[in-house]
Structure 1
Amino acid sequence: MRRISVLLCSLFAATTLLWLMAENGEHLKWAYFPIRHYMVQYSGVMAIAAMSVGMILATRLPIFERLTGGLDRAYRLHKWLGISALALGVLHWFWAKGTKYMVQLEWLVRPGRGGQGRSHDTGDGSVISTFLHQNRDLAEIIGEWAFYLLVILIAVSLYKKIRYGSFVKTHKVMGVLYLLLVFHSVVLMRHSYWEAPLGWVLGGLMALGTLAAIYSLAGRIGQNKQLHGTVKQLDFFEHNQVLAIDIDTDQRWPGHQAGQFAFLHFEGEEPHPFSLTSAPTEQGIVSFEVKALGDFTQQLRQRINKGDVVSIEGPYGQFDFQDNQSHQLWIAGGIGIAAFKAQLQQIKQSGSRKPVTLFYSTQQPDERYIQQLQQLATDAGITLHIHDSVQQGLLTTEMICQYCRYWRDSSIWFCGPKRFADALKKGFAKQGISEQRFHSELFEFR
């Protein structure tokens, strides 16, 4: 999360600095309407910058995965950019439209036109400047209604009780709203900004964001990483409600690293991300495990059969088990164990150069599933601890340190629910383990 925070703060700090360089606040009078003039521009600039970067990140291009440390983190940054854009959009609406409503309600008195009234930047009289000036009213109307729709769509995105399929479909409309808000921004942004570094940077971001929006609306995201396979084997574990899926790609799978994931697209459904559990060397067959948690995953067992054609997009992720520590400590919560299975398979085949201890915490222990996991750990030479959180309570840092004698020299690799991760991270921090040694796969994209 630290890298996400740094990237987010860096974007806003750099944009603010560029805006200050482009503005001249020497003659600013500390009264509501003069301040409003600056804040309308500032909040608008910040909002469109956040939306542009968020739109660019949504393309799933490898360069952004490397920059953010994995697609899971790229999407987490995308999420916080959306929340930031919403907050900045509300601020922008308040200064631009809220003020007008307050004047109509006689809560504010607008100063006369003699100096502090509404003034428009008419530019240099060129064709472009004339076009922009003539379309100001249209841009205001488009921006206002696009903002209202944006508020609704971001609220839908953040409300996790809404079906994932509905979330994905409504999210696609964001591209259209973004293009409308780009038009709003280009027309209404101060003309002097385009002559400053702020205009060059913001123009570049909006241009890239526009290409990304068109790329998304054309359905091109992830297409270069897609292939089709056939469901070869299904195995359902009753007690923990996990469905294991083997897919035959006819030797066309490009390969993956242990700890990565891919999107599965079943007919009639939107793509869903799942961890790869097969060994990286098995290029013909790729395996996944799906926990019955949401509406889609709960119905999946009844909806798919052997022989069904499935689209696979991937691989993604950088949960790669690479570090400089002499030992490794793996902790899995629930279906988070799936992220470790491919690495277990790989160690089974090629061996491990460092000792590993794996803790698997589950609320629904399935005897057959655990037997398979124990056999896999034994074959890989990995120490495995099964923790029944219903019988034994929440797995804590103290418990882990008690069972793992070399925890002080270990890197920690975690995949599971966020609250579990936060509790462990805080507990290990108290034990003197730095955050840099705690590696986690972000369990939720929304």
Structure 2
Amino acid sequence: MKILLGLLLAIVTVAWGMDVLATGGSSGGTLPWVIRQEALYLSGLLSIALMSLAMFLSTRPAWLETPLGGMDRVYRTHKWAGILAVSFAVVHWLVEEIVGDILKAMVGREGRIPKEQFTGFLEVMRDLAKDMGEWAFYLVLAMLVITLWKRFPYKTWRVVHQAMPVLYLMLALHAAMLAPTDYWTQPVGILIALLGAAGIYGALYSLVGRIGKARRASGTVTAIEQTAPDVLTVSCQLDNHWRGHRPGQFAFIIFDEKEGAHPFTIASADRGDRSISFQIKALGDYTRTLGKRLEVGHAVKVEGPYGRFDMARQDSNAQQIWIAGGIGVTPFLAWLDALQQTSSPVSADLHYCTRDRANDPFVARLEASCAALPGIHLHIHGAQQGETLSATDVVAAQAASRRSEIWFCGPQGLAEKLKHELGRIGQGRFSFHQEAFEMR
């Protein structure tokens, strides 16, 4: 993610710099006004470039899963591209409104960059693009605030977020119409055109409702079980459009078109019969009431599969350490289910962290699965029993002469704690794989 975003920022900055060198930058003004004008251009370029990337990534391009490491990381890149885009848009607005007023007060209007003159239809379109860009900026800024405000209801946020393609098209028009005319004879103009095309494709693809449709299968709910007060097991039978899945992958599920798609990890192995199951934890209004609204035979749509939390990606030369926290055990349930169907020996230490091991619905299933797999050594850590997992426990299980590969799925706080401690005492012998399962 960091490499892609950094590379995009660098390419845009270099293209802008090439234009400055080739044309001498904004001419006809004094240095303070020239600096202000070029800062305005650069911040605007960076903003629309990042927004174009975010809009394209919103189409869930499956071919990017391999280079980016999974659809979860595609979404994380989408999220941060959007955050950075709005941040540069704020800089763009500050340079336009605030810095301009400061310069007027300090050095006066003399020395300002002369505005390019246009007439007729082009002048009308530029005026329209300027107004549209300003209003779209305010709306996008408000959208960022409610996106980062986690207490804002997801259902309402999803509806509001659907306006983003329209806002992007408004901002794309603003960028294209107000860019200096000399840009279109320079590499920076080609870059704007390419990024704009990608963003417009993403916006239109979203507006016509095509996102995910090529990877969507229909089916019915075949079984529902309330395995714990806050955990619902849902099994589904899908039609021939389902392509199968690898253990550890996730899918977007639509139980109700009005609610839209929600991502859940697939908790079962692929048996070739297009049957899948999910372990759904009550984490919000939608999941808390789901059990009351579902019944056997309920129609369902499943989009996917996505993700790279996959046993096939493990390093066979490294010692395997699997760590699950709470509902993060779901991909490991699928892994264990898949291992029951193969004769290939797998050796790993599986650590499961739970609040109360005595009343946890997954403990018995984990114990039964691991009993049939002699290479999997299960460790249950119950917080109420004083058995919290620490990096020391992980290191103690590691062979001194081997590298270890950690596969983690669970709370972010636990992940950060373990990574920090392992970085301090692990002496670089650990590689850490974690699914960034956060779609908002």
Does TM, normalized by the shorter one, top 0.5?
yes
Give 1:407 shift: 9.2
User: What is the RMSD of the two structures over their aligned residues, measured on CA atoms?
Assistant: 2.3
Q: Deviations over 1:100-158 (max 9, x none)?
A: 5557xx7455322xxx22422348xxxxx964444322221111111000000111111
Change (3 A) 1:168 1:26: closer
Letter in 1 for 2:175: S
Match of 1:411 in 2: 405
Give 1:435 shift: 8.9
Aligned partner of residue 91 in structure 2, secondary structure: helix
Query: Which one of the candidate residues 179, 182, 205 is aligned to 2:172?
Result: 182
Say yes or no: does 1:391 pair with 2:385.
Answer: yes
CA distance in 2, matches of 1:132, 1:89: 24
Question: 1:247·1:285 contact (CA, 8 Å) conserved in 2?
Answer: yes
Query: Which one of the candidate residues 313, 319, 323 is aligned to 1:327?
Result: 319
Match of 1:13 in 2: 10
Letter in 2 for 1:375: A
Change (3 A) 1:302 1:101: farther
Any stretches of 5+ residues in structure 2 without a counterpart? none
CA distance in 2, matches of 1:147, 1:51: 12
Q: Equivalent residues in 2 for 1:285-434 (5 A)?
A: 285-321=275-311, 322-324=313-315, 325-365=317-357, 366-381=359-374, 382-392=376-386, 394-403=388-397, 405=399, 408-432=402-426, 434=428
Change (3 A) 1:389 1:201: same
Q: Equivalent residues in 2 for 1:4-403 (5 A)?
A: 4-24=1-21, 25=24, 31-100=31-100, 107-108=105-106, 110-112=108-110, 116-122=111-117, 131-238=121-228, 241-250=230-239, 252-267=241-256, 268-321=258-311, 322-324=313-315, 325-365=317-357, 366-381=359-374, 382-392=376-386, 394-403=388-397
CA distance in 2, matches of 1:179, 1:435: 48
Aligned partner of residue 259 in structure 2, secondary structure: coil
Q: Deviations over 1:308-339 (max 9, x none)?
A: 11110110001112132332110011101001
Any stretches of 5+ residues in structure 1 without a counterpart? 124-128
CA distance in 2, matches of 1:137, 1:353: 68
Give 1:57 shift: 0.6
The two structures have a TM-score, normalised by structure 1, of: 0.91
CA distance in 2, matches of 1:26, 1:89: 21
Q: Deviations over 1:351-393 (max 9, x none)?
A: 3443111111012443543111211122233211111123326
Aligned partner of residue 235 in structure 1, secondary structure: strand
CA distance in 1, matches of 2:409, 2:429: 15
Change (3 A) 1:377 1:207: same
CA distance in 2, matches of 1:234, 1:442: 27
Aligned partner of residue 23 in structure 1, secondary structure: helix
Question: 2:404·2:429 contact (CA, 8 Å) conserved in 1?
Answer: no
CA distance in 2, matches of 1:343, 1:166: 35
Question: 1:228·1:249 contact (CA, 8 Å) conserved in 2?
Answer: yes
CA distance in 2, matches of 1:314, 1:436: 31
Letter in 1 for 2:2: S
More displaced stretch, 300-309 vs 407-416 = 407-416
Give the number of equivalent residue pairs. Answer: 432
Question: 2:30·2:112 contact (CA, 8 Å) conserved in 1?
Answer: no
Match of 1:438 in 2: 432
Point out 4+ residue stretches in structure 1 off by more than 6 angstroms: 26-30
Question: 1:401·1:407 contact (CA, 8 Å) conserved in 2?
Answer: no
The two structures have a TM-score, normalised by structure 2, of: 0.92
